[in-house]
Amino acid sequence: HVQLVESGGGSVQAGGSLRLSCGASGSIYGDACVGWLRQAPGKEREGVAAIDSDGIASYADSVKGRFTVSRDNANSTVNLMMNSLKPGDTATYYCAAVGTLYCPDFLNGAPQRFGYSGQGTQVTVS
């Protein structure tokens, strides 16, 4: 059984920063591709950032240069540092994990189809 729990959401003005954290339990974490999804009202859930077990990160074009994903394997955590936030970043953010086989498709829906995600944390940018 895999459990992912997010923390760190909140409200911030445009241009500000927030840091999201996610703790993972269960056996998947060590070899998994982990990262973040988000879903804005009325929109589909989309991939934001992913990082594989070797620490190689990938990002959606909309957040490149502003967001940084990292993982701490010793503590089974994954973080998302969000800088230069825009109103368009407003969404519920979900921590997600998927097996290594599906890592290349993390930003294209793999976690939603084949992986796990948490309950989400709200980020509001005004």
What is the 3-state secondary structure of 56-77? CEEECCCCCCCEEEEEEHHHCE
Chain-centre distance for alpha carbon 26: 18
3-state SS assignment for residue 25: strand
For residues 31 and 82, what is the distance between their CA atoms, to the nearest angstrom? 25
Q: Residue 28 — very low, low, confident or very high, per pLDDT cuts 50/70/90?
A: low
**Residue 45's Cα: distance from chain center in Å?**
11
Question: For residue 35, is pLDDT > 80?
Answer: yes
Q: What pLDDT does 74 receive?
A: 86
90 - beta bridge partners? none
Q: Look at residue 64 and tell me whether its pLDDT is greater than 70.
A: yes
Cβ atoms within 10 Å of 124's Cβ, excluding its own: 15
